[in-house]
Amino acid sequence: MSGAAGRRTRRLRGWGGVGAMAGACALALTAALVLVPCEPAMDAPAGTAAVADGPGAPDVARARPASDETCAHPEASLRPSSAAGPAVRRIQKRGYLVVGVDQDSYLWGYRDPNTNQLVGFDIDLVKAIARDILGPDPRIVYRTVPTDQRIPAVRSHEVDMVVRTMSVTCDRIRQVAFSTAYFEAGQQLLVPRTGTTVTGFDDSLRGKRVCTASGSTGEALLRAEPHGARIVLVANQIDCLVRLQLGQVDAVLTDNALAAGQAAQDPAVHLIGQPLTHEPYGVAMNLGDTDLIRRVNAVLDAYRAGGAHSPWTRSYDKWLAHDLPGISGPPAPLYED
């Protein structure tokens, strides 16, 4: 990152940047953006189908594996198509796209204090999807969604999709559908640069307070292998950074892509060890919206195309290259049909 954009984002480092993004559910309106306060979404009632009957049923059956034995590649998605089926037409008739996002994940989806606009790598992708479905200057409703409300928001159709550094896992694809992967990350520990005895994801965590977001893959990993740690759960990962700065926790476990943004905000913390998991990020959508899944995959095909001049690479260079270097390009798409 360089130039005016680099100077603008560098001002967010440290306490000022965290404070600027800590208001997680504000309300704002611009010509093309509506940010709606986050509201807990109710999941589908017990015993009810999460997928509506209709033309998408055959695709849905493939999108929901019966067991882990059939889930070797959860990131496999439906093949791309630009056809406008029921879900795409629903959005076009409404006249705007409703997307679940984060507004306090630095570099990914955050509010720029200089412009009061949502910006970041995830937001660039949202805009590309919206332009494809709705045309130039599309209207987008950004709904801020806590980590553990992402799946309920998609399943209840509170949002059309979630674009929020969401890892594709075998458990999640039973509840929501995903696009092909647009980024790859892994769980890693974030700790203070000085004064810590934590050396990695090992027994040095015994008795330590380790923070992660509720409903995240970090929580699942910690519960499976706690190493004697005391697990501290928060609604959003930025809350973990604040607690780490205040000395209320000893370490943070999160995606290394998110942690790179947190370390960029506060040079007093850094990543240690190696990534513990392989986690592709995907756009989450309702299992029944198969035409929308295919449409988003068509957008992603175009977004990746062009090598060093692709929209994906331009967005990576703008937002992530400085603090998450060494990534040569997007993950290759994998299809299940």
E strand or H helix at 44, and its extent?
none
Q: What is the pLDDT of residue 90?
A: 98
Looking at residues 20-28, what average pLDDT do you find? 36
Indicate the SS3 state at residue 248: coil
- Write the burial class of residue 197 (CB in 10 Å: 0-12 exposed, 13-18 middle, 19+ buried): exposed
Q: What is the pLDDT of residues 187-235, one digit of tens each?
A: 999 999 999 999 999 999 999 999 999 999 999 999 999 999 999 999 9
Q: Give which of 157, 96, 151, 161 is closest to 125, Cα–Cα.
A: 161
Q: What is the pLDDT of residue 68?
A: 52
CB atoms within 10 A of CB 65: 18
* Cα–Cα distance for residue pair 7/320, rounded to 1 Å: 14
Q: What is the pLDDT of residue 49?
A: 27
Asked whether the beta carbons of 230 and 254 are under 8 A apart, the reply is no
Q: How confident is the model at residue 32 (pLDDT cuts 50, 70, 90)?
A: very low
* DSSP-assigned letters across all residues of 180-237: S-SEEE-EEEEEESSS----SSSGGGTT-EEEEETTSHHHHHHHH--TTPEEEEESSH
Q: Give which of 51, 83, 54 is closest to 291, Cα–Cα.
A: 83
The DSSP secondary-structure symbol of 17 reads: H
- On the CB side of 319, CA atoms within 13 Å amount to 24
Looking at residues 53-77, what average pLDDT do you find? 55
Q: Give the length of the chain.
A: 337
* Cα–Cα distance for residue pair 227/222, rounded to 1 Å: 8
* Cα–Cα distance for residue pair 46/92, rounded to 1 Å: 31
Q: What is the pLDDT of residue 337?
A: 84
Locate 106 and state its tokens.
């630095």
Asked if residue 64 has pLDDT above 70, the reply is no
- On the CB side of 52, CA atoms within 13 Å amount to 11
* Cα–Cα distance for residue pair 182/179, rounded to 1 Å: 8
Q: What is the pLDDT of residues 283-323, one digit of tens each?
A: 999 999 999 999 999 999 999 999 999 999 999 999 999 98
Asked if residue 28 has pLDDT above 80, the reply is no
Q: How confident is the model at residue 40 (pLDDT cuts 50, 70, 90)?
A: very low
More confident site: 121 or 66: 121
Asked if residue 31 has pLDDT above 90, the reply is no
Contacts for 288 with CB less than 8 Å, ≥ 6 apart? 50, 51, 52, 54, 56, 60, 87
Asked whether the beta carbons of 271 and 54 are under 8 A apart, the reply is no
Q: What is the pLDDT of residues 90-124, one digit of tens each?
A: 999 999 999 999 998 999 999 999 999 999 999 99
Range with the largest mean pLDDT of 28-32, 130-134, 327-331: 130-134
Q: What is the pLDDT of residue 21?
A: 39
- On the CB side of 243, CA atoms within 13 Å amount to 22
Average pLDDT, the chain: 83
Asked if residue 24 has pLDDT above 80, the reply is no
Asked if residue 249 has pLDDT above 90, the reply is yes
